[in-house]
Structure 1
Amino acid sequence: MPDTDRVAERITDPADPRIAAFVSIRERDLTGRHNRFIAEGTVVLRMLAASAAGGGPFTAEAILLLENRLAGVADILAQFEDTVPVFVADATVFNAIAGFDMHRGVLAIGMRQSPQTLEGLLSTLPDEALILAACGLSNHDNVGSIFRNAAAFGASAVLLDETCCDPLYRKAIRVSVGAVLTVPFVRQGTAGNLLAAIEGRGFALWGLSPRGETDLDDIPPAPRTALVVGAEGEGLPPAIMAAIRTARIRQKPGLDSLNVATATGIALHRIASLNGLV
């Protein structure tokens, strides 16, 4: 059981082997290495703890804190199993370990346990669901933002094709304000395979594009809706645009398009409102 009185281990040497995983994480993020990742800040640590305590797919391997942050996160630390070590260091040692200053004194090495497959995730979705499918998103800020939007507007899952960047990259997690750890996701396969699997589960597919054939406000409500978005600049590939229904967001003339994260937020809110999710 989690320990409500965690004893932290003091680190005085940045070369201490106990915190080797935290060293130089600016240069070598841990995504893709045994499903490990960096969690930064109190909000993300709290979501990581909630997943760990609730039997979710994420937990912590180790936690590193500035010494003056220990008391303030005691309630969060109590949610982790007592096998998860907690380390503290002063500012000089901490910054020598981390190599960057975006952490606000709170870092953890997270672990994703047994990632779901596409079919496995689709099989768990409710009969009435809104999901987001992304193709070719290579910007970590945008990926983090769409997860935050998905959480805000009740999306049941985010599905990414294999060309999207990893949402467990530390910047994506930070921008998502931890939503990457709460919204179920998979990153797998080609865009074509992704959309075929979604359609096979009875979802109405709507591609979001400035060239969309239907106004966003005219998308009809449906028990299962999948919003499909593409990369900045190129947008959705022509083959996908031709294969599914497409919608556009009305905007004043003179501007090519909205940022994909902004457009996704608008569209998710509209579809969630139509289907009574918000």
Structure 2
Amino acid sequence: MPKPRALVVLVPLLLLTACGTETGAGGGTGSGADTVSPDLPLAGTQWTVDAVTVDGRRSVAPDGARLDFGQDGRARGNTGCNTFGATVVVRGDGVTVTPQEVTEIGCPADRQRFEQELLKAFSGPLKGTTKGDALRLDSPDGRNGLELTAEPAAALRGTTWKVDGLVSGESTASLPAGSEAKARFVIGADGRVTGNLGCNDFSATARLDEKARTLTVEGPAATTRMMCTSPQMKLETRLYELLDGPLAYRLNHRTLTLTDASGEGLTATATAR
């Protein structure tokens, strides 16, 4: 497995042009008008990547593979390991993608392979087709493409949040290598937070102030007493330190960010339903 490297903070990268519907005058006789089909409604949408096809070979996506199109024309995605960005121009059902930055976290071999395929498929001129909550983006020759499903927004309470990054000020770093699988938690309607922060299961009483957008764990957490690998214990220690005090939260569709007064915190993603 490649040696993990520091996570690169992505800069907003995309320009998504919405042209809408254009109507032009017909010939000199004024007998008709030419209508351009409206652009694909991609701005402000979030998608789960279900599968990609490269050179006619289809591969099912790993957990965490996703693609988001921002309202401001920026798009970002996750390959199931690294995050990436690309500039996108939309005209009618045509989507032109110019890849930009990719972070460089070390991944297992199967995820590396899928990552290479996804980045190859999400490049160049593509044609978009929608059906219900599904979106396909295919190359002109049909040999490369992506299969996507629209993601519903996640509720703060009752959702299982998988911890996927550590926040420090304006930057976000990956979790310690070897600790990525277990850390997750649920904020219950009964005011309890339960889950696992890298090694041991935990349960704690919490006070959620949705007006102030703060989460405060009240009193010590009850935990199991297992011994785990060094990376898992390191992550658990860090996350328990973060829970010792009020945390500001920010919920963006299916991403939750918790930070303390100094700007230290975590990011978590809603798990698939």
Which structure has the highest helix share of the two? 1
Bigger RCO (CA 8 Å, 6+ sep)? 1
Q: Give the TM-score normalised by structure 2.
A: 0.28
Larger Rg: 2
Q: Give the TM-score normalised by structure 1.
A: 0.28
